[in-house]
């Protein structure tokens, strides 16, 4: 899939000598100053030294400064990650980042609201321009969809059907975002909903738009939950929980589930257990984020909850991100004065690098179904 929008910055390419970066990128069939959509157009020769020395941070920060461009960033990252180049270049500067993930609890209660303030509170108008009509900031389900709105409605309905929602039930949404799931479940399945979020903007949006529905939203950390619910969902929030808190999350879910209750966990996941968050993503997009591996999720639920089903539709996140990117590009003139060129390049890099990562199967999107030992199990829903 080609990117929907190409770089238009007309900066002359620079003359230079052959560099180590040429050899590294060639392994992914990427040329510096080549003429293909995924080739890197260099505008400042010194940027190559920074990219090689500082790896992911160097690559992202030199792009944000305008030192290089790629007409199709999604294709660039697809090739970069398909060739598994990041795992073969491990600068010593990453040593402390790796150690601190194991030594420190980067997702402690004290830090819990940081991602809300820095990422989700950018402004509801910004996200309304980029996302679907319900502001669903997670992977869509494109099985029978042609548009972003259809894909997100399909995902919300899939969740409701997997949970077997019925009128009179109480649904807890841990990390409820702008209320897409709780509003859909209340409207279409007649359930009472409770949501928790760490974003003031999201909480205010739900209160303003869904006050007529049986929805209650709390601005609080999930670890403070202790009420009984028939069903629990968490969509796109577990990525912020952190490996030191995975077990705690499952313990909270277990204590809040009624007998025969079900938990649906919708999360991005990584292929390898012993890896850390990309340093550029951690610094500029999702502070203190930590993608779980399948093994880590299994460990967290061990002897607490039973895994009833596991559904991977990570390839659908590629389509979702490309749709968000198209909306972002089309609406950018409205926000250029407010956010500026550096933010534009940062956000574009974020959306298209992630699209390339899902396309390369470097990261996944899972929906796990857990129960507290439901007799007879549950039927698979797709």
Residues belonging to the active site: 354
In degrees, rounded to 5, the angle at the alpha carbon of residue 369 between the alpha carbons of residues 364 and 371 is: 150
* Beta strand pairing call for 257-270 and 306-312: unpaired
Return the structure tokens found at 78: 């697809």
Return the structure tokens found at 177: 């975002």
Nearest in space to 9 (alpha carbons), one of 75, 54, 65: 65
As a whole number of angstroms, the distance between CA 310 and CA 368 comes to 5
As a whole number of angstroms, the distance between CA 36 and CA 47 comes to 20
Neighbours of 28 (CB within 10 A): 18
- Contact call for residues 365 and 312 (beta carbons, < 8 A): yes
Nearest in space to 368 (alpha carbons), one of 232, 244, 195: 232
As a whole number of angstroms, the distance between CA 366 and CA 369 comes to 10
As a whole number of angstroms, the distance between CA 71 and CA 5 comes to 8
As a whole number of angstroms, the distance between CA 322 and CA 2 comes to 9
As a whole number of angstroms, the distance between CA 252 and CA 106 comes to 19
Return the structure tokens found at 122: 């950018």
* Beta strand pairing call for 170-174 and 229-235: parallel
As a whole number of angstroms, the distance between CA 25 and CA 39 comes to 9
Return the structure tokens found at 339: 């956010």
- Contact call for residues 370 and 308 (beta carbons, < 8 A): yes
Q: What is the DSSP string of 88-121?
A: H---GGGHHHHHHHHHS-TT-TTTTTHHIIIIIT
Our measurement of the distance from residue 303's CA atom to the centroid of its chain's CA atoms, rounded to an integer in Å, reads: 28
């Amino acid at each position: 899939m080609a990117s929907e929008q190409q770089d238009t910055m007309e900066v002359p390419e620079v003359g230079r000598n052959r560099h180590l970066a040429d050899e590294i990128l060639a392994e992914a069939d990427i040329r510096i100053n080549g003429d293909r959509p995924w080739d890197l157009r260099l505008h400042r020769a010194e940027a190559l030294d920074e990219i090689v020395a500082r790896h992911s941070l160097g690559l992202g920060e030199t792009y944000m400064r305008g030192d290089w461009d790629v007409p199709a960033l999604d294709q660039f990252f697809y090739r970069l990650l398909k060739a598994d180049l990041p795992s073969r270049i491990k600068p010593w500067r990453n040593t402390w980042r790796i150690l601190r993930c194991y030594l420190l609890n980067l997702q402690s209660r004290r830090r819990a609201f940081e991602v809300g303030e820095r990422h989700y509170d950018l402004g509801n108008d910004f996200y309304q321009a980029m996302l679907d009509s319900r502001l669903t900031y997670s992977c869509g389900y494109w099985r029978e969809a042609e548009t972003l709105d259809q894909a997100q409605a399909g995902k919300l309905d899939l969740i409701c059907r997997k949970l077997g929602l019925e009128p009179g039930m109480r649904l807890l949404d841990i990390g409820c975002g702008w209320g897409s799931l709780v509003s859909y479940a209340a409207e279409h399945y007649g359930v009472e909903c409770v949501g928790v979020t760490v974003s003031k903007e999201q909480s205010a949006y739900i209160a303003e738009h869904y006050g007529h529905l049986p929805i209650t939203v709390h601005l609080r950390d999930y670890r403070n939950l202790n009420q009984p619910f028939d069903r629990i969902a968490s969509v796109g929030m577990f990525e912020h929980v952190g490996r030191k808190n995975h077990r705690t999350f499952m313990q909270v879910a277990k204590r809040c589930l009624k007998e025969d209750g079900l938990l649906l966990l919708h999360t991005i996941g990584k292929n390898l257990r012993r890896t850390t968050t990309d340093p550029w993503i951690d610094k500029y997009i999702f502070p203190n984020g930590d993608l779980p591996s399948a093994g880590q999720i299994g460990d967290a639920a061990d002897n607490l909850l039973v895994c009833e089903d596991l559904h991977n539709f990570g390839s659908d996140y590629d389509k979702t991100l490309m749709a968000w990117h198209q909306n972002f590009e089309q609406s950018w003139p409205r926000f250029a004065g407010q956010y500026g060129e550096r933010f534009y390049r940062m956000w574009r890099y974020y959306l298209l690098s992630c699209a390339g990562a899902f396309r390369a199967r470097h990261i996944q999107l899972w929906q796990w179904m857990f129960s507290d030992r439901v007799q007879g199990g549950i039927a698979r829903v797709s």
